[in-house]
Amino acid sequence: MAAEAAGGEPSLDIERHLKYWKMCLRSPLPHAYLSNEGNRMALAYFIINSISILTPSSPPPPSSDTAADKPPTPPLIGPEERRALRQWVLSHQHAAGGFCGTSSLIFPLRDYEEWDFEAGAPTQEHSGLANIAATLFALQLLALLADDETADSAFSGVDRVRTLRWLRRLQRDDGSFGEVLRLLPGRGWFIGGGYDMRYCYIATAVRWMLRGHVKAGEPGWVDDFDTAGLARYILTSQTYDGGFAGSSQDEPHAGYAYCAIGALSLLDRPLENSKASHPSAILHSGIRDMPRLIHWLASRQFVYLEPDTSADDDDDDDDDDAVNFLLPKTLSDLSLDENLHYAGFNGRCNKVADTCYCWWVGGALANLGREELLPRGPSRRFLLEKMQHRIGGFGKYPGSPPDLYHACFGLAILAVMGEPGLSPFDSSLAVPVETVRRIERARRGLLKNASEERKAGTLGRELVNMGLALSEKTPEWLVGVTGGAW
């Protein structure tokens, strides 16, 4: 499908990718996605994010000869549908903050009765389960589903205060984050999800989207999580070879390296009009061994060699390594021109090439402001000629059928590398740049509401206080209602 344009470079068939995503948008996903049933919000993000990458709101002027007569096509997702999908996203919000990853974890509202909303803490275990990743994807979706007219209210309906309070409770003593909170019988509160750099990144992204500049005591103030503790945890997770792992005792992994870099950079990213690769002090002065980190990231690229199809069938086993991580017989082979055609990326040393690592490695380098280290031509060719599928989308390995995850991140890295026709992409927040501007507007809208609500709330409080002054003592029912927050 990668049509050879003049000059021999393949071109991206945007229409075909849109067709694939339209199918994912309109029809139920096949049974193979069952294992993602708990993470449907993630799948939803892949779909809407990809459509946004493929349909920039200010598309480049079409080349004169091809599209002059074409009538303007209606948007793939109309305003009505956007509103309805927004409602779907918001329906996943947990009454105690955060978002659930799937409708099977949302319970009827009456089941949240045991929650002390004022204190932001449960009086006992509650039904439903908010998940940190679902919370990020839900916020990204709300911004992706907004347009220029509705951006200011994109986050309206999001319970900013409870979500940020809940986020704090997901942080462990060592500074790291888990994904869910659960009360285990006889064991107390448990922060589930293992030691995973993804949650650390997500915590900083949610904080960046929702918290805003509010001074202590001002309306909308919420206690921050322990940012220094988080930074410390991440910085000590650098491994002996320069990469990042879930913790320093594990093997480094490109996905975790992306998350570590992204998290550090988001901790001090300016809230307005900033770029993904802003000069982050926490990131650039904090990383213990930056040269080794860059070395490790650069080492994830390798020359992708075509499997020799003429080889004897007996040798052709199903081992991925055999077809996907071919080593040159001698190093001199690598210096041959034709072998420089494709650059694959792996996630760990001596592992196979996989579409998503183009994104995790490329995105990490972009966040460090080191895009020039990416072999743009060979990476692009590798994606378009080896990983792209006939029906649109990208697969995991050469020849694999497309799936939402790889299809989305294949587009994302092409957008980061400046692919014509795609939305410019923010490698740190993993949405188009125009969506980041909408997130900023949405955050402002949310904070404005918070301060207005507080003003309205003051009047009510004064009325109650006046009533209390007239009566002799506080009635018992009011104690429960206010939770001592007056």
For other proteins, the binding residues in 404-423 under the rule CB under 8 A are 404
Phi and psi based region of residue 272 (left: phi greater than 0; alpha: psi -120 to 50; beta: remaining): beta
What mask of x and - would describe binding to other proteins in positions 360 to 389, judged by CB under 8 A?
A: ----------x-xxxx--x-----------
Rounded least distance, CB 483 to other proteins, Å: 24
- Options 7, 8, 15, 35; binder of other proteins; rule CB under 8 A: 35
Question: What 3-state class would DSSP assign to 435?
Answer: helix
Cβ 19 to other proteins, closest distance in Å?
Answer: 18
Looking up tokens 């979706």 gives: 141
- Please name the residue ranges forming H helices in 61-176: 64-67, 79-90, 132-144, 160-169
- Neighbouring C-beta atoms of residue 369, cutoff 10 Å: 16
* Rounded Cα distance, 1 and 6, in Å: 15
Which uninterrupted H or E stretch holds 357? helix 355-367
Question: Does 395 participate in binding other proteins (rule CB under 8 A)?
Answer: no
* C-alpha span between 386 and 44 (Å, rounded): 26
In angstroms, how far is CA 88 from the centroid of its own chain? 19
For the CB of residue 184, give the shortest distance to other proteins in the complex, in Å: 5
Extract the runs of DSSP E, i.e. beta strands, from 51-195.
99-100, 115-116, 121-122, 130-131, 180-184, 188-192
Nearer to other proteins, 71 or 185 (CB): 185
Beta carbon nearer to other proteins, 38 or 307:
38
Closest approach, Cβ 9 to other proteins, in A, equals: 17
Are the C-beta atoms of 483 and 116 separated by less than 8 Å?
yes
H-type helices in 170-302, by residue range? 197-210, 227-235, 254-267, 281-286, 290-298
Min dist CB 189 to other proteins, Å, is 12
Please select the residue that binds other proteins; options are 52, 93, 163, 238, rule is CB under 8 A.
238
Secondary structure letter of residue 63 according to DSSP? P
Residue of the chain from 11, 156, 227, 248 that contacts other proteins (CB under 8 A)? 248
Contact with other proteins (CB under 8 A) among 331, 459, 466, 485: 331
Is the Cβ of residue 373 or residue 433 nearer to other proteins in the bound state?
Answer: 373
104, two tokens:
């099977």
- Indicate the residue among 8 and 185 with the shorter CB distance to other proteins: 185
Cβ 58 to other proteins shortest distance, Å: 25
Q: Establish if 34 lies at the interface with other proteins (CB under 8 A).
A: yes
**Of these, 98, 175, 220, 246, which contacts other proteins (CB under 8 A)?**
246
Nearer to other proteins, 211 or 351 (CB): 351
Query: Do the Cβ atoms of 97 and 169 come closer than 8 Å?
Result: no
Q: Binding to other proteins by residue 403, rule CB under 8 A?
A: no
Least Cβ distance, residue 336 to other proteins (angstroms): 10
Site string for other proteins, 168-187 (x = CB under 8 A): -----------xx-x-xxxx
Other beta carbons within 10 Å of 48? 28
Cα distance between residue 288 and residue 174, in whole Å: 18
Question: How near is the Cβ of 46 to other proteins at its closest, in Å?
Answer: 8
Residue 53 backbone phi and psi in degrees, to 5: -65, -40
* 138-167 residues near other proteins, rule: CB under 8 A: 141
Rg (C-alpha) for the chain, rounded Å, is 25
Q: Which x/- pattern, by CB under 8 A, does the window 279-298 give for other proteins?
A: ---------xx-xx-xx--x
Among 334, 433, 464, 468, binds other proteins (CB under 8 A): 334
Binders in 425-484 for other proteins, by CB under 8 A: none
Which of the residues 4 through 33 are near other proteins (CB under 8 A)?
24-25, 28-31, 33
Which amino acid makes up residue 470?
L
**Closer of 24 and 430 to other proteins (Cβ):** 24
Q: DSSP string covering 456-469, please?
A: HHHHHHHHHHHHHH
Please state the separation of Cα 314 from the chain's center in Å.
43
CA separation (Å) from 14 to 9, 404, 412, 416, 417?
15, 16, 13, 16, 16
Please give the residues from 74 up to 133 whose contact with other proteins meets the rule CB under 8 A.
Answer: 81, 84-85, 87-89, 91, 103-108, 111, 125, 127, 129, 131
Q: How far is the CB of 335 from other proteins (least distance, A)?
A: 5
Min dist CB 285 to other proteins, Å, is 15
Provide the minimum distance between the beta carbon of 213 and other proteins in the complex, in angstroms, as a whole number. Answer: 32
